[in-house]
């Protein structure tokens, strides 16, 4: 039986900490290696894995993730491969959600994708470019197949927009700490705390902050006010910079341990 993101947030809350969420594109640098890397991240303290579905036109992704996605596509990563990778990491003990632009899901088939993700043991989907107004078919498919719908709020979101977004969200709310593309930053946006506070006025769902987190200190800073801390580009960078597969596994493991310690010592 698949485990849902709610379990991870409940466990983190019982331990008086934030949940740690780590992102890695499926198939990067190869399908087999991505499974090993994800399993290493989970073993080293990541509570929820975002399995990225590689897409050729990633508008929100910065250069680090774009490079990784291109490697995954070059390695032959299809949507079916992504679902198989989800199955493998869930079988190994991960709680997994898929991060995907809407176009690949729509092309694959909305109902078919939801059914395939449920069969693989996946917990939910983050679709950053899907709007509430266009989500009716997706909502129906996710309800039928017990899949969480994670939508994104941004610093520019008005109170009315936040209310509309959380009204169609299940699992948790993704709070983008800054406008612009993904990528590790030396500091976390000062607007992240305000965004979480404004979002809490409209929902009791857990709220996780992402875009820019790369160190244990930043994780601790966000964990002081958010229910979850999301890290993506920093994990990808460890793999890109590693001279060998063994070094890549060691690199993501080391970063996961640092971040896991960070969410446990929130400032």
Residues 6+ apart with CB under 8 A from 234: 184, 213, 214, 215, 255
- Yes or no: say if 122 and 149 are a contact pair by the CB < 8 Å rule: no
3-class state of residue 6 by DSSP: helix
**Residue 244 falls in which region: left (phi positive, over 0), alpha (psi -120 to 50) or beta:** beta
pLDDT in tens, the chain (267 residues): 457 999 999 999 999 999 999 999 999 999 999 999 999 999 999 999 999 999 987 677 788 999 999 999 999 999 999 999 999 999 999 999 999 999 999 999 999 999 999 999 999 999 999 999 999 999 999 999 999 999 999 999 999 999 999 999 999 999 997 644 444 444 555 689 999 999 999 999 999 999 789 999 999 999 999 999 999 999 999 999 999 999 999 999 999 999 999 999 975
Active site residues: 50, 61
Question: Residue 250's CB: how many other CB atoms inside 10 A?
Answer: 15
pTM comes to: 0.93
**In sequence order, what E strands does 54-146 have?**
96-99, 124-126
Q: Domains of the chain by range and CATH?
A: 5-149+210-263 (3.20.20.70)
Residues 6+ apart with CB under 8 A from 117: 83, 86, 98, 125, 145, 147
Q: What are the b/e assignments for 124-153, b being 16+ CB within 10 Å? A: bbbbbebebeebeebeebbeebebbbbbbb
């Amino acid at each position: 039986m698949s485990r849902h993101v709610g379990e991870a947030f409940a466990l983190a809350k019982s331990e008086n900490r934030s949940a740690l969420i780590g992102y890695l594109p499926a198939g990067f640098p190869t399908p087999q290696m991505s499974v090993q890397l994800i399993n290493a991240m989970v073993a080293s303290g990541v509570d929820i894995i975002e399995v990225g579905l590689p897409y050729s036109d990633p508008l929100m992704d910065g250069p680090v993730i774009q490079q990784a996605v291109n490697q995954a596509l070059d390695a032959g990563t299809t949507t079916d491969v992504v679902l198989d990778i989800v199955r493998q990491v869930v079988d190994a003990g991960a709680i997994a959600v898929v991060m995907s632009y809407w176009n690949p899901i729509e092309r694959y088939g909305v109902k078919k994708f939801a059914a395939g993700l449920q069969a693989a043991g996946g917990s939910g989907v983050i679709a950053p470019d899907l709007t509430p107004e266009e989500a009716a078919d997706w909502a129906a498919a996710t309800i039928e197949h017990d899949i969480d719908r994670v939508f994104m709020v941004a610093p520019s979101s008005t109170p009315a927009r936040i209310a509309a977004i959380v009204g169609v969200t299940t699992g948790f709310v993704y709070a983008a700490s800054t406008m612009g593309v993904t990528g590790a930053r030396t500091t976390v946006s000062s607007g992240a705390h305000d965004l979480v506070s404004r979002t809490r006025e409209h929902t009791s769902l857990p709220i996780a902050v992402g875009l820019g987190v790369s160190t244990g200190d930043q994780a601790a800073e966000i964990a002081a006010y958010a229910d979850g801390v999301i890290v993506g580009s920093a994990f990808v960078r460890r793999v890109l910079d590693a001279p060998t597969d063994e070094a890549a596994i060691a690199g993501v493991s080391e970063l996961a341990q640092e971040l896991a310690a960070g969410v446990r010592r929130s400032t």
